[in-house]
Amino acid sequence: MATLNLRNLVKRFGDTTVIHGVSFDIADGEFVVFVGPSGCGKSTLLRMICGLESVSSGEVLIDGDVVNDVPSARRGLALVFQSYALYPHMTVYQNMAFGLENLGTPKPEIEKRVGEAARMLRLDTYLQRKPTALSGGQRQRVAIGRAIVREPRVFLFDEPLSNLDAELRVGMRSEIAGLHRRLKTTMIYVTHDQVEAMTMADKIVVLRAGRVEQVGAPLELYNHPANQFVAGFIGSPRMNFLSGTAVISGGSVGVDVPGVGVIMTHASADGIASGAAMSVGIRPEHVLAGRAGWNTVRGEVASVEQLGGMSYIRLAAPDMTAQLPGQTRLGFGDEAEMNLPPDSLHVFDADGLSVPRAWAGAEMRQSA
């Protein structure tokens, strides 16, 4: 069990800085997910924590101790990669026992730990098999088992499920979540997949180009994104955005969107100049179709996806996707009317930062 603190971490490769002063804290037993686009520095950050990559400046603390100069093997962490890197000539048992044998762990202790991990991961009947005789999901479980037997202070996972097919991913996702509930060990998990992030994390760290955009609980990021990048990254399908200019009315801001009209919002007009560039965002699930109300957007239906339990309708101009409950009569080429309730709107200023609400009562709607 361990706490982790990153203090102003910087990583340079030659002249290129890829991590630009990253700071955040991870509590004991927390499940933290790093998300962000490809190349934003997720793996580099994980490797710096783990000691596989040196720190250019700043500090990594584990349980309050600076570990910058502690070699990887002595940090008490275990890293599980996307590629399982199992030894093909060894059995499952040998693959799991190998690291402990190297550390000189007594044989009975090795047998006990491998046995427990194998039971936990439902690998007990495969211990004498070679990795080539296992499925992708089973191989990934062996790689996780190899980390478990070392009883690390922190587990680090770098996109461990990205080689698996969709169905296996869902299964493994709940296995890793279950593992965390049982072991209660601090875990850091890197993924591209924002569904994984939303469903597994106690806390999500959103990274972009080597900087932290926002840190928070999944629903905190979903309900209160700090900026347009986080708003667009968290949530699937992604938030719709309409750009325009500010129209001040009373204490709140309207956004005049070319070709659409003025979208009224509950965002505060404090510090916003009339005519300033602004964007409004609305999640597909908050768009209402075919009902009279505020902020009506009309357009031709460019595509319809009927999933049975819900439908996606996309308008081409303005580009907007609505997720509707149940099934729809709308079809390609139909004229559709959508309403954007001010309660559900996110508003972003010219720098892409979220504009706060004009009054405290104007909170995001949340279902019970």
Please give the residue ranges that form the binding site for Mg ion (CB under 5 A).
43
Q: Which ranges of the chain would DSSP assign to H, the alpha helix?
A: 42-50, 92-102, 107-120, 136-148, 166-183, 194-200, 218-223, 228-233
Stretch in the footprint of ligand ATP (CB under 6 A) among 34-42, 115-123, 136-144, 286-294: 34-42
> Closest distance between Mg ion and the C-beta of residue 81, in Å?
10
Selected binder of ligand ATP within 1, 39, 133, 178 (CB under 6 A) = 39
DSSP states of 254-288? EEEETTTEEEEEEEE-TT--TT-EEEEEE-GGG-E
Selected binder of ligand ATP within 32, 42, 67, 346 (CB under 6 A) = 42
Contacts of 305 (CB under 8 A, 6+ apart): 311, 312
Instruction: Quote the CA–CA distance of 15 and 166 in Å, as a whole number.
Output: 39
Residue 299 is a binding residue for ligand ATP (CB under 6 A): no
Selected binder of ligand ATP within 6, 35, 44, 222 (CB under 6 A) = 44
**Measured from the CB atom, is 121 or 206 closer to ligand ATP?**
206
**Measured from the CB atom, is 186 or 191 closer to Mg ion?**
191
Phi first, then psi: give them for residue 253, nearest 5 degrees.
Answer: -105, 135
> Closest distance between ligand ATP and the C-beta of residue 160, in Å?
12
Stretch in the footprint of ligand ATP (CB under 6 A) among 31-39, 103-111, 138-146, 260-268: 31-39
**Contact predicate 188/34, CB 8 Å:** yes
> Closest distance between ligand ATP and the C-beta of residue 172, in Å?
18
Partner that binds at residue 41, options Mg ion, ligand ATP, none, CB closer than 5 to 8 Å by kind:
ligand ATP
Residue 199 is a binding residue for ligand ATP (CB under 6 A): no
Question: What are 262's two structure tokens?
Answer: 């003025």
**DSSP letter at 118?**
H
Stretch in the footprint of ligand ATP (CB under 6 A) among 22-30, 38-46, 84-92, 300-308: 38-46
Residue 54 is a binding residue for ligand ATP (CB under 6 A): no
Question: What are 59's two structure tokens?
Answer: 């500090």
Give the C-alpha distances (Å, rounded to integers) separating 340 from 192, 232, 283, 321: 29, 17, 10, 12
> Closest distance between ligand ATP and the C-beta of residue 46, in Å?
8
**Contact predicate 260/297, CB 8 Å:** yes
Instruction: Quote the CA–CA distance of 185 and 298 in Å, as a whole number.
Output: 51
Q: Going residue by residue from 156 to 195, which x/- string records binding to ligand ATP, judged by CB under 6 A? A: ------------------------------------x---
**Measured from the CB atom, is 3 or 163 closer to ligand ATP?**
163
Question: Residue count at the site for ligand ATP (CB under 6 A)?
Answer: 11
> Closest distance between ligand ATP and the C-beta of residue 40, in Å?
4
Give the C-alpha distances (Å, rounded to integers) separating 101 from 77, 125, 140, 264, 353: 17, 22, 21, 66, 53
